[in-house]
Structure 1
Amino acid sequence: MHKLLCPSMMVADFTKIKEEVQELELANIDIFHMDIMDGSFVPNMALGVEDYKAIRSLTSKKMDVHLMVQRPKNYIKMFFNLGANIIYIHPESDQMPTSTLEMIKSLGMTPGIAINPGTSIESIEPLLNLTQNVLVMTVNPGFAGQPYLDFVNKKIDALVKLQNQYNYQIFVDGAISPQKVKMLSQRGVTGFILGTSSLFNKDKGYSQIIQELRQL
């Protein structure tokens, strides 16, 4: 199974973002992962419109948007116009998530939902009919560098069992080390958001790291 390896650009070095994007492209990553935070839905602020524009202008690879914001529907057309390919919303932040997912799909983008560690499968199962990607948060969203929450593995196993019924891909985000990439890919996870646990701030170059992760 081909792993989808997605660098979390929140932890990239924006003082040399052109070089970062070029090196990640040469490493043959799959999707640039962009965390958008409003300081309200999560207690932090992260990448904004200008950051998105900058990276979009430097790459033709797929880019996603992880909307950690209140009322995500208000942002969908803006990120469509900025060239997003995939948009994740948190169902808790949206009064009508089904409508928002349909809007994402109608614009030709891939609709996704992000599931917090405390969000139950039962509460989001109706949305799986409208979802192509499910992003499972394995830490509480908002900050890099948190420890992996092992109890989330049960949720991942439950989502794997439901996959054939609903036809979506499972991604994971939060403290994804090489060991977690190996363990979770064996469990049935397709996509991995890569931050400081496996990709950034390492002694090796991105190409070597990505090649090693693909071989796990």
Structure 2
Amino acid sequence: MIVAPSMLASDFSHLSDEIRRIDIAGADWVHLDAMDGHFVPNLTFGPPVISSMRPYTDKPFDVHLMIDEPIQYIPQFRKAGADIITFHLEAASDPDAVIQAISDGGAKPSVAIKPGTPVDAVLPYLDRLYMVLVMTVEPGFGGQKFMPNMLSKVRVIKQKRPDVLVEVDGGINDVTAKEAARAGVNVLVAGTSVFGAKDAAAAISSLKNSDRTL
């Protein structure tokens, strides 16, 4: 199981320290949520802030774009240090072009779907994707309750293409991580359960081991 702590739950006044902390604690990736205030009702950070974080870890930057018409921003996020770029299917007028732009820029392409989006919407793109992000909460804010019925989407995706990575984001803790693992999830995005833990290393280790009992 890959664990990608979400910087959305970190202390924004000490981003460099927070990245180093989760790196040392054993994070596999760093998850970065870029929100534009249009596609989702919240604003976070863009390429300049991501670029400023890049020197503090060698771990892959898993960048989740919650922005309208993401294609125009792909080069900036790639230049800022994004290794994996996830865009929302609902936010792109031409998903094929966005996937191509991500690949052409040298990053790994990934598509996210909101809870209200049927899994069938992402299936036509599976053969061109590195990963699919199944949102297990409504995107835009951290700390929401996990939606277990979203795991049916994971099962469909893994049945159609077993080798594609499936990531879940929202409400991940020790209990929901095991549910996700049973459904075939490969990557867990965890915010408050890591950054709010007294021992981040123990929290990450527990999530990593969520698939050990399967």
Instruction: Return the TM-score normalized by structure 2.
Output: 0.93
- Once superposed, what is the RMSD of the aligned Cα atoms? 1.3
Runs of 4+ in 1 over 6 A off after TM superposition: none
Deviation at 1:5, TM superposition (A): 0.3
Aligned to 1:199: 194
- Give the secondary structure class of the aligned counterpart of 1:199: helix
Residue of structure 1 aligned with 2:108, choices 85, 105, 110: 110
Say how many residue pairs are matched. 210
Evaluate the alpha carbon distance shift between residue 200 and residue 49 of structure 1 in structure 2; reply closer, same or farther with a 3 A threshold.
Answer: same
Q: Is the 8 A contact 2:90 2:113 kept in 1?
A: no
Alpha-carbon deviation of 1:151?
Answer: 1.9
Question: Mapping of 1:37-186 within 5 angstroms?
Answer: 37-164=35-162, 167-186=163-182
State how far apart, in whole Å, the 1-side matches of 2:97 and 2:209 are. Answer: 39
SS of the residue corresponding to residue 60 of structure 1 reads coil
Residue identity matched to 2:179: M
Give 1:61 shift: 1.1
Q: Which digits, 9 at most, give the CA deviation of each residue in 1:49-88, with x for residues without a partner? A: 3321221121111002111111100110001111110000
Q: Letter of the 1:190 partner, please give it.
A: N
Verify the 8 A CA contact 1:138 1:148 in the aligned structure 2: yes
> Could you give the per-residue CA deviations for residues 136-189 of structure 1, whole angstroms, max 9, x where no partner exists?
00001001111112221221221121123xx31000000011111112112211
Please give the alpha-carbon distance, in whole angstroms, between the structure 2 residues aligned to 1:108 and 1:131. 13
- Cα contact 1:37–1:45 (8 A) shared by 2: yes
Structure 1 CA distance for aligned equivalents of residues 121 and 196 of structure 2: 37
For structure 2, which runs of at least 5 residues remain unmatched after alignment? none
**2:97 aligned counterpart, secondary structure:** helix
Q: Secondary structure at the match of 1:151?
A: helix
Pair 1:139–1:153, CA change in 2 (3 A): same
Specify the SS of the correspondent of 1:175. Answer: coil
The amino acid of 2:205's aligned partner reads Q
User: 1:10 maps to which residue?
Assistant: 8
Percentage of matched positions with identical amino acids: 35
* Deviation digits for residues 73-118 of structure 1 (CA, Å, limit 9, x no counterpart): 0110001111110000111111111011011112221000001101
Contact (CA 8 Å) 2:48, 2:80: kept in 1 or not? Answer: no
SS at match of 2:19: helix
Question: What displacement does 1:31 show?
Answer: 0.8
Alpha carbons 1:10, 1:47 under 8 Å: kept: no
